[in-house]
Structure 1
Amino acid sequence: MKKLFLAAAMLLSVSAFSFAQTKASSGQTQTTQHTKKDGTPDKRYKENKTAKDTVVHAKKDGTPDKRYKENKKN
């Protein structure tokens, strides 16, 4: 009787652990952001960049540099 009870308890505990370790369902999206040590977003990664962060080519006096395509007028 002890062996039967022990086997049932082991089976129950193993099955409980296997159900507790399931991964997130596919309907949930994970959004992880790469951050620096101080907690600010790391701009080296694409998901942390915004349109504002793009490089604007300008001269030292602040005027647009016409050597670059995005600064030329059509």
Structure 2
Amino acid sequence: MKKLLSLIAIAAFGLSTTFAQTPATATQAKKAVKTTTTTTKAGAKKVETKTTTTAAKVKADGTPDMRFKENKTKVVTKVAGPTKKDGTADMRYKENKAAAKRN
């Protein structure tokens, strides 16, 4: 009886995990180029305008998708005082402590 109940429990767990999450559908924004041609009454002038729009690639929740190069912008901050060997600010100095309080 215990073996039968444990088998049913394992089967129920297995079925529930297969339907736990549905894959998210990802749609990527592409550049849209729109060309319009307008003519005047006499037909002498033709004006062509091109409009390009770019959209940042974002996840479904609206945060930028960091797998793409245009979303990876690295911010470099200048350290006010002396630094350690790894390039971070050495907090033993007054200049670095003051800069940390401002930020």
TM-score, structure 1 as length reference: 0.37
TM-score by structure 2 length?
0.28
**Larger proportion of strand:** 2
